[in-house]
Chains A and B, each alone.
Chain A
Amino acid sequence: MAILTKEEAKQIIDKVLSYAKADETEVTIYGGRTGNIRYARNSVSTSGETNEIGLNVTSVFGKKSGSSTINELDDESLKKAVARAEEIAQLAPENPEYMPMLGPQEYVESKTFVSATDQINPDKRAQIAADSIGPSSEKNLTAAGYLEDFSGFVAQGNSKGLFGYNKSTSVDFSITVRTVDGTGSGYAIRDFNDVSLLNSKDVTNIAMQKAQASQNAQAIEPGKYTVILEPTAAGDLMGLLTRSLEARSADEGRSFLSKKGGGTRLGEKLFDERVTIYSDPLSPQIPGAPWDNEGYPQKPMKWVENGVVKNMFYSRYWAEKQGVEPTGRPSGMIIAGGDQSIADMVKSTERGILVTRFWYIRAVDPQTLLYTGLTRDGTFYIENGQIKFPVKNFRFNESPIIMLNNIEALGQQQRVGGDLIPAMKIRDFTFTSLSDAV
């Protein structure tokens, strides 16, 4: 019984709160099942399943807080957990940035739980793997893949009357297919809340096609190219921007959102006017949790609209200090896209590079959000509207801020790692060297 019902969770939280003597007490109960299956060289290498339930108590005296976690929910354990959290809190140093706990909140009814995913069992995992290994080995290709699924719940409550409960499921699947001679490699990755949307055979087929099409890649000169980024590749870089919209570092002068002479670039047009970035906990494609890590309710927010920075992330502490409303921190970001398919984008490209994904991306300069990394698992040269041949992988040095000023087109969206990201056609993307890696 790893998933408690709302009522069961509420009952336990109320019981814990009744034992508490601290000024403020917060209780979180979480639990669920995580399963996985991993394969390589067309054979399953590991698989496992973990069931976990835990309860965390945070006790606060003044501005001193302490936490304790237990994995047993009997009365004796609950009492001990409260006592231990209170003991740790008494010994803790004051946190000058401590914010009093929130009172009751209005949370949206999330759509994060899907029973099909909750019902995954070892046989289902083996089937998903078999549907991926089978076609690869039939075509004399080598598959390596990984599936991880989760089904669980979280409930939170505090001594000021706040209560929230949410169930969620997720499934993450990735597959690399390589040719036996090692000259071709393809990749595809998908994530969903609902496992019935995952067809591992179809996803593997994409990786197989890329593996075969990328064999014997040719070297072309690095430099500035128009690139068509599949949503996976675009998501690899855009997530670095959308998670950097922090108000505090901008106010402190240590962010790309800091302004020369002090202040921030809130309200400035930093990107092409086609760029709109927002979040919506009720998005059907990327449903979000009802609250963020501070318990603050998630609501639809515009972060960038028509290229203008509309909002930054304000924590409760920083919002109070700056005299604004906290924003919450969304679990997923949506970048508005368009109607064009990848094929449409290729057709309109005179000379360019199609990128499947990026790899080993690391920050080079936080001042400009410059990142480096490499293309991987399917990189192709486009000429006169057609894919001509596979090319060797490139290293890039590029900033998502510059990319969003060099937009040629935004295409159809796809869910990528919990975000909703369009395919992107970007001009003057900077490749700085070649790699022999396949």
Chain B
Amino acid sequence: MKRRDFIHLSGMGLGALATSGLVMMGNPVSAERLLEPGIDAAAKKVLADIALNSAKAKGAAYTDVRIGRYLRQNLFTRDKNVQNISNGETFGVGIRVIANGTWGFSSTSDVSPDGIKKCAENAVAIAKANSKLQKEPVELAPEPGHGEVTWNTPIRKNALEIPVKEKIDLLLKANNAAIDNGAAFVNSALFMINEQKYFASTDGSYIDQDIHRIWPTFTVTAVNKESGGFRTRQALSAPMGMGYEYMDGLAEDKIMNPAGFNSYKNTYDIVEDASEAAKHAQEKIAAKSVIPGKYDLVLDPDHLGLTIHESVGHPLELDRVLGYEANYAGTSFATLDKWKSGDFKYGSDQVNIVADKTQPFSLGNTGYDDEGVKTKEWDLIKNGVLVNYQAIRDQVGILGEKESHGCCFADNWSSVQFQRMPNVSLRPGTEKLSPAEMIKNVEKGIYILGRGSYSIDQQRYNFQFGGQLFYEIKNGEIAGMLEDVAYQSNTQEFWNSCSQICDKDDYRFFGSFFDGKGQPSQSSAVSHGSSTTRFDGVNVINTGRNI
């Protein structure tokens, strides 16, 4: 498959995903193979040292090596049938060096001493060849060696150890629940990833990490053949940095939302959500079409996460700001002069947005990044003011900082690591406030849940977002479902219209499992936490059309 195809995945329906073969990276293997241990850390250290020494002997000033085993299992069902089960494994080595002040990268699936030696030498040769075109030498922010350390995602149940049949049965149970509640069609899927990553560098780090992620999701379709109308409702789950325990659907993780059904915190009840989805999809066909105009928006965390991702996460990537993504994803309105001014009002005083790679259960949660930097948390927006960006070792000096933010990532051993978005989250309000209380004070508004259509310009000013579910708010009460809703705004205007944020009891994660960036494109996973939040006087358009 061509890498550039991968980035389009998020726009495809689940049915198309199941048969495209696109989500599978790596060689198909049996489910049992995913449970076999890889080579142990001691053996990896021996191999890593061969890379470090071989590169040094050829003149590298710095070398890092990533020995990676990437395991994936994807399950797809359609209505009452299994559509596809795929298990994938890739194993190999990526070696990155600095020689003559220039980066060089090479990778190989030949994980033998000889294969690694050749790969390291090739990386140095590439660095030296590219150094002829280099304008300024690479400067790395210092990072202490961490010695031999390990880090594991704190999972309780390894999803790959759960029998395939048990997982399929759960998906089919959810499908049946949707069909029993009036769905015409339902596609469901479960994505599971285990990254076994070993990192070593000439700084003296030997880091062994075992990282797990999971994403259950579905699309339910209701059809009214007489009217020719159809509507879909997608799952309100979030992809998480968790094991199979996310599927437990514990009572303590259910929050009754103001629309009268459950939202989910750190575990998810797929059967319950599928039943609700079937009812919602039918209700959507008959729902009132929105009257365009200004509304106060009350945004659920499972919706707001994507708005945070697009309008705060991406524009504050330093490589974008500098122009390295100009030909593809674009640049950023959040230019260095705005940051330097020290008073650029990105949002209202209540807007505090934090970047981190450490929150438990989040997709970005790791102990160390892919250049051996210990992960941490830092502020991006404080009391509404832009205070920082996302930067890695060779960029952070531009910001006058001496320590990388620890957000360097490669999606495979064969890909070169570069700056990727950490978790970017809105801090909850400090005063006690529930979503129901928030809605009580809204006269004319719309309560929006779920991830819908999303689009934003290449400098991240103008955006348009849809959602899965829209409820009209009239004089402090939910007044029924709306359809054909999308809101359009400008990033700075929107965040400055933020007037209230619910407290920490409502704090939940949204996640993006296949976030694309770079050429050739790489995919990463990132979470965005928030509590239900109110934005005043936002422009809402009607997206209904007759054809």
A interface with B by C-beta (< 8 Å): 34, 36, 38, 40-41, 43-48, 50, 54, 56, 67-71, 84, 87-88, 91-93, 95-97, 122, 126, 142, 144-146, 148, 150, 174-176, 178, 182, 187, 252-254, 256, 258-262, 359-370, 372-374, 376, 393, 395, 397, 399, 401-402, 432-438
Q: Complex: how many Å from CA A433 to CA B457? A: 12
Contact partners of B466 in chain A: CB under 8 A: 364
- 28 pairs from A and B in contact (CB 8 Å cutoff): A34-B2, A40-B323, A48-B416, A54-B27, A68-B27, A69-B28, A91-B30, A93-B168, A144-B326, A145-B327, A146-B328, A148-B519, A148-B520, A175-B327, A187-B327, A252-B184, A258-B230, A261-B226, A359-B457, A360-B458, A362-B454, A365-B545, A366-B230, A397-B486, A432-B541, A435-B461, A436-B490, A437-B460
**Roughly how many angstroms separate A108 CA and B134 CA in the complex, as a whole number?**
47
- Chain A residue contacts of B11, Cβ below 8 A: 362-363
CB distance from A202 to the nearest CB of B (A): 17
Task: List residues of chain B with CB within 8 A of the CB of A50.
Answer: 414
Contact partners of B488 in chain A: CB under 8 A: 395, 432-433
B30 lies within 8 A of A360 (CB): no
Find out whether the CB atom of B133 lies under 8 angstroms from the CB atom of A44: yes
Q: Which 9 A-B pairs have the closest CB atoms?
A: A260-B228, A435-B462, A437-B457, A437-B459, A144-B326, A144-B327, A253-B223, A176-B327, A368-B545
Is B479 part of the binding interface, using a Cβ–Cβ cutoff of 8 Å? no
A437 x B81 contact (CB < 8 A): no
Q: Shortest CB–CB separation between residue A432 and chain B, in angstroms?
A: 6
Please measure, in the bound complex, the distance between the C-alpha atom of A262 and the C-alpha atom of B230, giving whole angstroms.
12
Instruction: Given A95-B81, A261-B226, A432-B488, decide whether A360 and B326 contact each other with a Cβ distance below 8 A.
Output: no
B464-A395 in contact (CB<8A):
yes
Q: Are A38 and B455 in contact (CB under 8 A)?
A: no
Q: If the complex has contacts A93-B168, A261-B226, A432-B541, are A71 and B109 also in contact, measured as CB distance less than 8 A? A: yes
Task: Answer whether A372 and B184 are a contact pair too, CB < 8 Å, given A87-B30, A435-B457.
Answer: no
Closest-by-CB residue of A relative to B27 is: A69
Neighbouring B residues of A68 by C-beta, 8 Å: 27-29
Q: Give A367 to B453 CA distance when docked, in angstroms.
A: 14
The distance from the CB of B102 to the nearest CB of chain A, in whole angstroms, is 10
Q: In the complex the two chains form, is B81's CB within 8 Å of A438's CB?
A: no
What 9 new A-B contacts, CB under 8 Å, besides A359-B457, A360-B456, A376-B457? A84-B30, A363-B453, A364-B453, A364-B543, A393-B457, A402-B545, A433-B464, A436-B459, A437-B458
B333 at the interface (CB under 8 A from A): yes
Given contacts A253-B225, A437-B462, contact A373 B184 (CB under 8 A): no
- Nearest CB of chain B from residue A190's CB, rounded to whole Å: 13
Is B543 in contact with A370, judged by CB distance below 8 angstroms? yes
Is B268 interfacial (CB 8 A cutoff)? Answer: no
* Contact A360 to B457, CB < 8 A, known contacts A365-B544, A402-B547: yes
The smallest beta-carbon distance between A172 and chain B, in angstroms, is: 8
Instruction: Enumerate chain B residues within 8 angstroms of A54, measured Cβ to Cβ.
Output: 27
A220 CB, nearest partner CB in chain B, Å = 15
Q: Is the CB of B23 closer than 8 A to any CB of chain A?
A: no
**Which chain B residues border A372 with CB–CB below 8 Å?**
453, 455, 464, 486, 543
Pick the contact of A40 from B184, B325, B543, B544 — CB < 8 Å?
B325
- Interchain CB contact under 8 A, B462 and A436: yes
Chain B residues whose CB sits within 8 angstroms of the CB of A397 once the complex forms? 464, 486, 541, 543
Chain B residues 209-257 with CB under 8 Å of chain A are: 221, 223, 225-232
Bound CA–CA A376/B226 (angstroms)? 41
Specify which chain B residues have a CB less than 8 angstroms from the CB of A435 in the assembled complex: 457, 461-462
Give B80-119 as 1s and 0s: 1 = Cβ < 8 Å from A's Cβ atoms.
Answer: 0111010000000000000000010100010000000000
What count of chain B residues pass the 8 Å CB interface test? 72
Rounded to whole angstroms, the CA-CA distance of A174 and B327 in the bound complex is 7
User: Taking the nearest CB of chain B, how far is it from the CB of A299, in angstroms?
Assistant: 22
- In the bound assembly, the distance between CA atoms of A359 and B456 in angstroms comes to 9
Contact between chains at B547 and A256 (CB < 8 Å): yes
Interface string of B294-331 (1 = CB under 8 A from A): 00000000000000000000000000001111111011
The one of A43, A69, A261, A370 in contact with B225, judged by C-beta atoms closer than 8 angstroms, is: A261
Of A40, A56, A258, A366, most buried by chain B (CB within 10 Å of CB) is A40
A39 to B406: give the CA distance in the assembly, Å: 24
Question: What's the least CB distance linking B281 to chain A, in Å?
Answer: 11
**A67: chain B residues within 8 A (beta carbon):** 28
Closest to B466 in A: A364
Residues of B near A399 (CB, < 8 A) are 545, 547
Assess the A376–B547 pair: CB atoms within 8 A. no
State how many angstroms separate the Cβ of A317 from the closest Cβ of chain B.
Answer: 11
- List, in ascending order, chain B residues with CB within 8 A of A260's CB: 226-228
Q: Do A370 and B545 touch (CB < 8 A)? A: yes
- Most B C-beta atoms less than 10 A away, residue of A91, A150, A361: A91
Give Cα A126 to B226, complex, Å: 60
CB distance from B507 to the nearest CB of A (A): 28
Q: How far is the CB of B169 from chain A (nearest CB, A)?
A: 11
The residues of A that contact B324 with a CB separation of less than 8 Å are 40-41, 45, 144
Given contacts A252-B223, A362-B454, A434-B462, contact A367 B81 (CB under 8 A): no
Say whether B185 faces chain A, with CB atoms less than 8 Å apart: yes
In the complex, the chain A residue whose C-beta lies closest to that of B457 is A437
B326 partner, pick from A40, A84, A253, beta carbons under 8 A = A40
B156 at the interface (CB under 8 A from A): no
Residues of A contacting B519 in the complex (Cβ-Cβ under 8 angstroms): 36, 38, 146, 148
Q: Convert B414-442 into 0s and 1s, putting 1 for each residue whose CB lies closer than 8 angstroms to a CB of A.
A: 10100000000000000000000000000
- Say whether A48 contacts B105, CB under 8 Å: yes
Neighbouring B residues of A40 by C-beta, 8 Å: 323-327
What is the bound-complex CA distance between A54 and B27, given in angstroms?
A: 9
Are A97 and B457 within 8 A (Cβ)?
no
CB–CB B455/A374 < 8 A? yes
Complex Cα–Cα for A436 and B109 (A)? 46
Chain B 124-166, CB within 8 Å of chain A: the 1/0 string?
Answer: 0010011001110000000000000000000000000000000
